[in-house]
Chains A and B, each alone.
Chain A
Amino acid sequence: MATGGIARRSEGQVYRVAVIAALVLVVMTPVGLILYQSFLDAPFFDKTARLSLEAYDYVLTDPDFWTALGSTALFAVGLVAVAVPLGAMLAFLLARTDLVGKRWLEPVALVPMFLSSIVLAFGYTVAIGPSGFVSLWMKETFGFKPWSIYSLGGMILIGGLSHVPNVYLYVSSAMRSLPSDLEEAARAAGANIWRVSLDVTLPMVLPSLIFAAALNLLLGFETFGIPLVLGDPSGIVVLTTYIYKVNGIFGTPTYHVMAVVAVCLILITLPLVYFQRLLLRNSRRYAAVGGKGARATPLRLGPSGQVIAWGLIALWLVVSVALPIGGITVRAFVDSWGEGVRLRDHLTLAHFAHLLDTPSLYRGIVNTLVLSVVGGALAVAIYLAIGLAGHRNKGASGAVLDYMVLLPRALPGIIIGLAFFWVFLFVPFLTPFRPTLVSLFVAYTVVGLSYGLRIIQATLMQVAPELEESSRTTGASRGRTWRDTVIPIIRPGLVGAWSLIMIVFLREYATGVYLMGVGTEVVGTLMVSLLTSGSMDQIAALAFLSILFTALGLGFALRLGARIHD
């Protein structure tokens, strides 16, 4: 019996070590390459490259770098301050109350996530930019236009509102598995529903709130599209656009300077990761699904609660869904817009006809669907394998795993894509995969790692240890416990993770900038490359289609998920 136990433990240990070793290899290869590159004075493949601190010297003495760093910090903190409270409130209303129409509201509330931030910024430009249709209407009706989206404040608001669904997804997935007895007790004791949400529900999902805040802070640090479209023309530079533009200042590939900025980003975000781990060390406190789990019953909002909730949600929906989508939709069907242009006279379907005519754009649509649906499912399987390896693992390997997961999140997608471009270019047995979707899949999986894994971990964490312990004491192996006890319990979470990863893969644009080539076109990155050539017509049409496809995909995933919920 005793020897059997040891054998089983070592079996679990072997699995754990193997998975973590593989993860370290996949994550550290690009990160290590970036680190190495930062200490050279030329691209690493250049024969003249020598070890040097030249690039550090350049970056750290460049006043533009410090300005960009300041703007980035402001943007990221502002984004979190907007997104987290709104996302948590939205999650509470949709997951814990009897809000009217929440079934169809949920997919609608996720819409801002469908859009890459480049497209989102572009949609806002058409709607509320200086010549946007809403701005022009405001000017005609009231004689003035009270906002400017080409400012740091405008960027923060737009960035924050667009990240509300990210917070919502994390928090609501935790809230859904909460039993309702505590909330009901508070209600019975006379607390009103807002008080319940603040004092009872939110504390119970604190881990997911912290994760959401930390991750959105990281996302804020690496946002590229919004600063590029809204800030850059007016000279507002953040770290990602700094990286993007530094190439042009030297006129040669300045991979070493780009690498230094990436290393700076890692140094800024590592303490954040450490702090996050510290907060969550005692994760048992948050286990909420006990051995005798009860299904949640929704809290009653009451008529005035319904009205207030609906008013807030409607306002948010108009600003963060109707405006950008409206902007994109208008732009996709006209060839001209703005001041003095009657949109009616410029309606056209030509942009869509052009998509079908152009092989690269057409291929991009097909590739994107394959990568997000099939690739997304594969990625979730990989994340689950990693999540189980780290599950109930408080040892050193658990710490290694946590850092491995968050490291890539600390890097902008464009840098990860570039690093993987190098890997697939220079590692001999990998080169055949570069012109295939495999290269993009690997990079996307790494980029989506922390998103997907945190969702899976948050779900795993809520499986009370006694469930696993009872399975183990009855003689089941670790593998069997996972297969028969843990995974069935978290299945709704897995489906949620799949739909999330699908969305992440659909909207990803920065990662492919360097990796994408003929045959591996994807919609998000095509929009970036079309932006450098200025083909706004096709960008709008692609954006419109990708919204449609994502809506379909999500509808499907929700249907699947909904069945499991019932």
Chain B
Amino acid sequence: MTNRRSFMAGALGSAALVGSSRFSFAQGASTGYPADYADLIAKAKKEGRVAIYTSTDEAQGQPLVEAFKQAYGIAVDYNGLGTTDVYNRVISEGAAGQVGADISWTSSMDLQMVLAAKGLLDVYVSPEAAQLPPTAIYKDMVYGTSIEPVAMIYNKNLLKPEWIPKTRADLVKLLQEHGKELTGKVASFDPEKSGIGFLLAQTDLQNTSSFWDLAKAFGAAEGKVYGSSGAMREKVVSGEQILAFNVIGSYALQWRKESDVIGVSFASDYTSAFQRVASVTKNAPHPAAARLFLDFMLSEKGQAILADKGVPPLRKGYKGPLDAEEIGKLTGGNMKVIPIDEKLVGNMNPKMRAEFFQIWKKAMRGEG
């Protein structure tokens, strides 16, 4: 546990605090690119298309795809799926020798690590690798593409201003003390339905001592669980629920811009952050185009496009909207970035999961 914590502190150090980078921007996109990169581009163009399996909302992913098409003239098949679907599909297709995905791009870091362990991902040393924090790369197979803090969203018209949680401790206290008044009005991610929901719950469990207190108070207040951040947004906007926690922050920030009802709050004592991870699939039908797309996602241009849609970049030395400084300010400096490492595979231990869900379901029934 402590080991894991120090790991996260490390990630935080490298990812969030390297604002004053030694890398200058004048170096341009070709820095670190091998001399024969033109060959890769030529091959990719010959392949003509690239297929992406992703859990990323089209609102966030489509601009990146458009820019890639424009830069290289390569068609992109964008397959929007849930986190578990991305994973199941890559596994089934790999087993059948009918690989359809060139890139899998998902917020479920642990599921992606299992794909790596099963040998379903390809090794590729991206020329952009040097620009990423070391905790964002696993064995040249899994690459982080973003650092996304988790947020609380609330309905500004319906949540009393003095109740707005500023910290994780506030949230626990609010649910414990005012659970009755908030009955059926609080929402969170469903760890059963959603891979990212489970990852976030595990991260909270490992990094805070109050996780089960929170879960019990949430269950006692007849909290509702959903399979996606967007579903929670819908409920909070309509007023059916007035507060939701563990919502993907990058989406939440975008929604705040679009709706005058939504308020966003990051807990200043503890905010977890995940990395949206991307990999080239083994035996990808368009291997060159896949590599090119991965490089493009990690490039200065690609990262800036993602940032423009609310996805905070993790590239070292990035400056602009949602850079490390801004994210640091938003989250109050206590952000724990989940590193991409083998510990994530531990999340897949069936016994551990069974025990977790047993307690979780009990808490949700209000029997905690």
Contact = CB atoms under 8 A, between A and B. Distances in A.
Interface in B88-146: 88-89, 91-93, 95-96, 98, 100, 110-111, 114
Contacts of B82: 529, 532-533
Nearest to B157: A340
Contacts of A245: 192-193
Contact of A248 (B51, B84, B95): B84
B231 interface: yes
A339 interface: yes
A530 B198 CA distance: 20
Contacts of B230: 533-536
A234 B224 contact: yes
A553 interface: no
Given A45-B92, A518-B51, A534-B231, A340 B158 contact: yes
Interface stretch (B4-12, B162-170, B335-343, B345-353): B345-353
A360 B239 contact: no
B98 A129 contact: no
Contacts of B364: 235
B193 A244 contact: yes
Interface in B70-90: 77-82, 84-85, 87-89
A339 B157 contact: yes
Contacts of A532: 55, 81-82, 85, 194, 227-228
Interface in B203-234: 222, 224-234
B340 to A, nearest CB: 17
B191 interface: yes
A339 B231 contact: no
A336 B85 contact: no
Interface stretch (B13-21, B56-64, B173-181, B267-275): B56-64
Most buried by A among B114, B232, B350: B350
A251 interface: yes
A367 interface: no
A337 B238 CA distance: 5
A234 B225 CA distance: 7
A248 B192 contact: yes
Contacts of B51: 518
B237 A530 contact: no
Nearest to B226: A233
Given A248-B192, A341-B261, A358 B224 contact: no
B357 interface: yes
A59 B172 CA distance: 34
A235 B231 contact: no
A426 B97 CA distance: 9
Given A251-B198, A360-B80, A235 B57 contact: no
A425 B96 contact: yes
Interface size class of A (residues with CB under 8 A): 35 or more
B233 A534 contact: yes
A77 to B, nearest CB: 24
B361 interface: yes
B80 A529 contact: yes
B258 interface: yes
A141 interface: no
Given A251-B198, A434-B98, A533 B84 contact: no
B347 A251 contact: yes
A221 to B, nearest CB: 21
Nearest to A126: B238
Nearest to A136: B239
B238 A426 contact: no
Given A64-B361, A529-B81, A534-B231, A426 B57 contact: no
A249 interface: yes
Contacts of B258: 335
Contacts of B228: 531-534
A466 interface: no
A250 interface: yes
A251 B83 CA distance: 11
Given A233-B225, A534-B229, A517 B79 contact: yes
Contacts of B251: 534
B150 to A, nearest CB: 15
A140 interface: no
Nearest to A358: B58
B31 to A, nearest CB: 33
Interface string A531-560: 111111000000000000000000000000
Given A131-B238, A245-B193, A339-B239, A425 B62 contact: no
B53 to A, nearest CB: 9
Nearest to A253: B88
A64 to B, nearest CB: 7
Given A64-B361, A425-B96, A247 B84 contact: yes
A431 interface: yes
Contacts of A431: 96, 98
B92 A233 contact: no
A248 B198 contact: yes
Nearest to B95: A45
Contacts of A337: 237-238
B354 interface: yes
A422 interface: yes
Interface in A216-257: 232-235, 244-245, 247-253
Most buried by A among B51, B191, B234: B234
A244 B193 CA distance: 7
B78 to A, nearest CB: 6
Contacts of A234: 184, 222, 224
Contacts of B158: 339-340
B195 interface: yes
A404 B251 CA distance: 47
A130 interface: yes
A425 B80 contact: no
Contacts of B24: none
Given A532-B81, A532-B227, A535-B230, A425 B350 contact: no
Contact of B240 (A131, A251, A253, A531): A131
Contact of B91 (A244, A253, A422): A253
B182 to A, nearest CB: 13
Contacts of B239: 130-131, 338-341
A481 B95 CA distance: 50
Nearest to B354: A249
Nearest to B347: A251
A336 B237 contact: yes
A250 B57 CA distance: 25
A566 interface: no
A421 interface: yes
A43 interface: yes
B329 interface: no
B46 interface: no
Contacts of B348: 251-252
Most buried by B among A46, A339, A517, A532: A532
A12 B354 CA distance: 57
B351 to A, nearest CB: 11
12 contacts: A131-B239, A249-B353, A335-B258, A336-B237, A338-B238, A340-B261, A422-B92, A425-B93, A519-B77, A532-B85, A533-B80, A535-B58
Interface of B: 51, 55-59, 62, 77-82, 84-85, 87-89, 91-93, 95-96, 98, 100, 110-111, 114, 155, 157-158, 184, 187, 190-195, 198, 222, 224-234, 237-240, 251, 258-259, 261, 347-348, 350, 353-354, 357, 361, 364-365
Nearest 7 Cβ contacts at the A-B interface: A534-B230, A338-B238, A339-B239, A532-B82, A534-B228, A45-B95, A518-B77
Given A45-B96, A533-B230, 19 more contacts: A43-B91, A235-B365, A248-B191, A249-B192, A249-B353, A251-B110, A251-B347, A251-B348, A253-B92, A338-B261, A425-B96, A514-B88, A517-B100, A531-B228, A532-B82, A533-B80, A534-B230, A534-B232, A536-B231
